Amino acid sequence: MRHRVRTVLAVAGVAVTTAMLLDMVLLAGGIERSFTRLLEGRGFQIRVSPKGTLPFDTEATIPDAAGVRRRIAADSAVVAVGPVLATSLYARHGDSLVTLFGYGIDPTAQAIYEVERGRDLGPDDSTGVLLSVPVAERFGLVPGDTLILQSRLDPEAVRAAVSRRLVVRGIVRWLYDYKGQPSVGTIVTVLQDLAGLRAGDRVSAFAVKVRTDAEAAAATERLRSALPRLEVNSIADFVRRFRERLVYFRQVSYIIGSISLIVTVLLLSTLLSITVNERRGEIATLRAIGVARGTIVGGVMLEGALLTLVGGALGAALGAVTATYLDRILTAFPGLPASISFFVPDPQSLTLAGALLVATGVLAGAYPALLAARAPIAATLRAEAT
């Protein structure tokens, strides 16, 4: 309180380093947690796709979907199998055709959308369609309206585009869509007709649900043996691959977070050392009248802890604001699902970061406290008197 400007600057410095530490803790595992939640959102723990690809990664498809579905469902642990077909579609808007991303789904076993308005499709609803919010807003449609979907025209085959007039059943959030993606969905057979894939009964992937998460690994291995020509991955497999690709993010986060802690120690140690040197006479007087050395040491270290706590509280608020801003920038990257977030709070990680920060504040006061404890009483009082 004697040097308010100095104290305010120290608190501000601690706040900035705390905000940096908080953001790096959130970033280190945030996108991984977000990706895991995205995959687990509907409770389907396994994905089956064409060999060598990830679901929707290429235009490759799985033939004989009905037969493959029966083989997957034959596994004792499997409780639901959802086929998914993905392809491009078109819808007329004024004098132009608008390109849409089309999903073919089975509403009784789906893992890729959540209904926000209206209702879901029925199991055999061959006249209904589900719209994403961007499509509904662009075309001005609400549940009950109609939309004409058209397949791609193939000039080489001289094949006229196939059209279907469908009734909007609901407005949904497609979990894997990027921000603003115009997507529609209908039952698999309708999309197969539009895409010309009905004859081969082709789909892009299967989402598989097993009874419990504990059975997912064993069920994945059994399905790999039963379907050697297809790619079978559990959510744990996807997360492991995703984690390997995020090593850079975690390394950068750990390095910057460590630097922030080191800066906090240096900042507080410097400030407290200056304070102790300025108060050497006062400290010597207290020692001379019988104040214990431990009390002096504890007082200096308490100052460091208080500066850290006040600066840490302000830094937490600043970190939350900057994390929101940075997340908005990073999630604007093209092709990322809108559900992905880079900064996701984790109670365990935040608790650890808070404990490290407090320990850092206490540690920062260790050297200045040692200086105060070792101050020679007689020599210091004599120097102060002269």
Give the pLDDT of residue 223.
94
Give the pLDDT of residue 308.
83
pLDDT at 66 > cutoff 60: yes
Spatial separation of the C-alpha atoms in residues 238 and 113, rounded to whole Å: 19
Spatial separation of the C-alpha atoms in residues 157 and 30, rounded to whole Å: 48
Q: Residues 237-296: pLDDT tens digits?
A: 888 877 777 777 778 888 888 888 888 888 888 888 887 777 777 777 777 787 777 787
Spatial separation of the C-alpha atoms in residues 23 and 19, rounded to whole Å: 6
User: Is the separation of the CB atoms in 12 and 267 below 8 Å?
Assistant: no
Q: Residues 137-172: pLDDT tens digits?
A: 999 999 999 998 988 655 544 445 678 899 999 999
pLDDT at 234 > cutoff 80: yes
- Per the prediction, the chain carries an average pLDDT of 84
Give the pLDDT of residue 381.
67
Q: Which residues pair with 265 in a beta bridge?
A: none
% of residues, the chain, pLDDT over 70: 93
Spatial separation of the C-alpha atoms in residues 155 and 172, rounded to whole Å: 33
Confidence of residue 333 (pLDDT cuts 50, 70, 90): confident
How many residues are listed for the chain in this entry? Answer: 386
Section 214-219 average pLDDT: 92
Give the pLDDT of residue 157.
44
Q: Residues 31-53: pLDDT tens digits?
A: 778 777 777 767 889 999 998 77
**Structure-block tokens of residue 4:** 């308010």
Give the pLDDT of residue 200.
79
User: Is the separation of the CB atoms in 334 and 35 below 8 Å?
Assistant: no
For the full predicted model, state whether its pTM sits above 0.75: no
More confident residue, 301 or 318: 318
Give the pLDDT of residue 102.
92
- Which of 250, 295, 248, 300 minimizes the C-alpha distance to 279? 300
Our CA angle for 220, 224, 227, nearest 5°, is 130
Buried b (16+ CB within 10 A) or exposed e, 297-319: beebbebbbebbbbbbebbbebb
Give the pLDDT of residue 263.
86
Give the pLDDT of residue 158.
40
> What are the E-state strand segments in 235-279?
none
More confident residue, 302 or 62: 62
Which residue is associated with the tokens 């008197």? Answer: 385
Give the pLDDT of residue 25.
82
Residue type, 68: V
Number of neighbours of residue 180 by Cβ within 10 angstroms: 11
More confident residue, 367 or 20: 20
Give the pLDDT of residue 161.
67
pLDDT at 63 > cutoff 50: yes
